[in-house]
Amino acid sequence: MHEGVLVRVDVMERLPDGGWHVAEVKSSTAPKDYHVGDLATQVWVLQGCGIDVRSAAIRHVDNRFILQVPGELDGLLHDADMLGKLDGIIAGRDEVVRSVRPVLNGEEPQTAPGDHCSSPHDCEFAAHCRRGEPLPPEWPVTVLPRGAGAAWRVRGYDDLLDVPPDRLSGVNAIVHVATVSGTPFHDRGGAAAEMMQ
């Protein structure tokens, strides 16, 4: 923890010549911009605590990896070294922390929940901010595949169980029937045909 900012570093490895290698592990196949910001904050905290960070990486899945021997996973993860790209972000972290402190110490902002609560990430305060709202449906229309749920929301439907079944077709009708009945749909013929290819 540094300046009141707590981080949980995924991996810290001692380097043979001294210092530390830091890795932030992600399930993606390439580093993303917000990964770099996360990593910069971690390095800022570590450096603030006097840790000698010599390299810092986003450790992501290497999609060129091919499993040759079961259980031998060397090469599945790749470290994309980022330390050189972090300097500018780290240099600004003091100011960022200074600027958010009054917000944290002030009154709760009166901002209604909306799309910003889940994009780009689910906000951890959602249960607090939505405490006065009715519970969401167990099966929202957004479970429909290929974006069909968004079209139903525009028409005023949130709960898949309220959607008139005779207005659904194809895979959406299958999803609806399986959801309402609770009986999973298994396309045995289709699966067999795919596996024969």
Query: Residues, the chain, total?
Result: 197
Which residue, 9 or 117, is less far from ligand SF4 as judged by CB?
117
Q: Which two tokens stand for residue 27?
A: 């399930």
Which residue, 111 or 197, is less far from ligand SF4 as judged by CB?
111
Min separation Cβ 96 and ligand SF4, Å? 17
Cα 172–Cα 122–Cα 42 angle in degrees, nearest 5: 140
Which residue, 27 or 111, is less far from ligand SF4 as judged by CB?
111
CA atoms of 161 and 137, how far apart (whole Å): 9
Which residue, 106 or 190, is less far from ligand SF4 as judged by CB?
106
CA atoms of 14 and 20, how far apart (whole Å): 5
Min separation Cβ 134 and ligand SF4, Å? 16
Min separation Cβ 8 and ligand SF4, Å? 20
**DSSP state for residue 11 in the 8-state scheme:** E
Which residues in the chain belong to E strands, given as ranges? 11-14, 20-25, 53-61, 77-81
Interface contacts to ligand SF4, rule CB under 6 A: 111, 113, 116-117, 123, 125-126, 129
Among residues 91, 98, 102, which one has the least CA distance to residue 48? 91
Please say whether the beta carbons of 3 and 93 come within 8 A: no
Min separation Cβ 102 and ligand SF4, Å? 16
Q: Tell me the HSE value of 7 on the side-chain side, using a 13 A CA sphere.
A: 22
Min separation Cβ 99 and ligand SF4, Å? 17
Which residue, 107 or 194, is less far from ligand SF4 as judged by CB?
107
Min separation Cβ 189 and ligand SF4, Å? 45
Which residue, 51 or 117, is less far from ligand SF4 as judged by CB?
117
